[in-house]
Amino acid sequence: MMTLPDSIRVFERGWLSANNVLLVGRHDTALIDSGYVTHAPQTLELVRHALPGRRLDRLFTTHLHSDHCGGNALLQAHFGCDTFVPAAEETKVRHWDEDALTFRATGQQCPRFTIDGVVTPGDVVMAGDLAWHVLGAPGHHAHSLIWYCPEHRILVSADALWQNGFGVIFPELEGEEGFAEAGATLDLIASLDVRLVIPGHGAMFDDVEASLARARRRLDFLSSKPSNNAEYAVKVLLKFLLLERQRIPVAGVQALLASIPLVVETNRRHLHKSEEELAAWAVKQLVRGLAAKVEGDDLVNV
């Protein structure tokens, strides 16, 4: 039976939004990750309902992908909470460089928010009356952080480890190292005494050893040929937009993918398909994987 201390509350979200981890202490409250912008009103209501008569004091972001920080602006506006990001992202956020933050590159939205401080790998943060050891977890994102509570052997793993895999290794799409870093992050997680994982997406799980084994097999596959990771990324980016919009005209998929700089660059570097070929391939892959269906003239989320 998976149990959590009373001070930890997890809001498991759909895949468009990252899970939210609410830490409720005697004297202050904190939230790790705020989800995507289109779900921000729901995030706000979840937090308000869980904190009757209290405010959200601090807001932390594991990494600067839009599905993890898209609700920051609304939570700030409502609660006036102090907001913290990974230290390596500080300048990008303060200057709101959407290119460096990859929001523009992925075709995703994130309203501008401000920050009050940063979190650095090696920090120990007290939240929910618990000591959380913050660790660097590069791979999916070069500056991602994971949070580990030794007292209860709980890991907030963001997108470094899910029950059945992990997030796209984005640095490799941009010509930077990512596979070796992802492997080192899995080694780091394996070195911790983890009883329960709260992932960035999906349900909590306690079969940590089996999940790590699945993740290593997945990493071996993705790193065996650069196009494997590239294909995975294109499918994920299209599925994300489909989750956001629910239906997209099939005839519009080509122009949509061509408007996303990261897809264009990924195709140029690794896949070498024409725009028409890429769109047809991506639609076919989502339908084959039961992640979408074609209904009339539209690609529809399932």
Spatial neighbors of 58 by CB under 8 A, at least 6 apart, are 28, 29, 30, 31, 81, 82, 83, 84, 127
**CB–CB of 292/286 below 8 Å?**
yes
State the Cα–Cα distance between residues 232 and 168, nearest whole angstrom: 7
Domain assignment present for residue 82? The answer is: yes
State which of 195, 224, 253 marks the end of a domain.
224
**CB–CB of 166/159 below 8 Å?**
yes
State which of 224, 258, 281 marks the end of a domain.
224
pLDDT per residue as tens, the chain (302 positions): 578 999 999 999 999 999 999 999 999 999 999 999 999 999 999 999 999 999 999 999 999 999 999 999 999 999 999 999 999 999 999 999 998 898 988 888 999 999 999 999 999 999 999 999 999 999 999 999 999 999 999 999 999 999 999 999 999 998 899 999 999 999 999 999 999 999 999 999 999 999 999 999 999 999 999 899 999 999 999 999 999 999 999 999 999 999 999 999 999 999 999 999 999 999 999 999 999 999 999 999 99
Asked if residue 245 and residue 204 are part of one domain, the reply reads no
What is the pairing mode between strands 29-32 and 292-295?
Answer: unpaired
Asked if residue 141 and residue 215 are part of one domain, the reply reads yes
Domain of 279 in residue numbering reads as: 226-301
What domain count does the chain have?
2
Domain assignment present for residue 3? The answer is: no
State which of 173, 197, 224 marks the end of a domain.
224
Asked if residue 138 and residue 96 are part of one domain, the reply reads yes
- 92's tokens: 């990008």
Asked if residue 79 and residue 18 are part of one domain, the reply reads yes
Domain assignment present for residue 1? The answer is: no
Asked if residue 204 and residue 175 are part of one domain, the reply reads yes
pTM of the model: 0.95
CATH number of the domain where residue 167 is located: 3.60.15.10
CATH number of the domain where residue 270 is located: 1.10.10
Asked if residue 144 and residue 260 are part of one domain, the reply reads no
Q: Which residues of 51-78 are buried (b: 16+ CB within 10 A; e: fewer)?
A: beeeebbbbbbbbbbbbbbbbbbbbbee
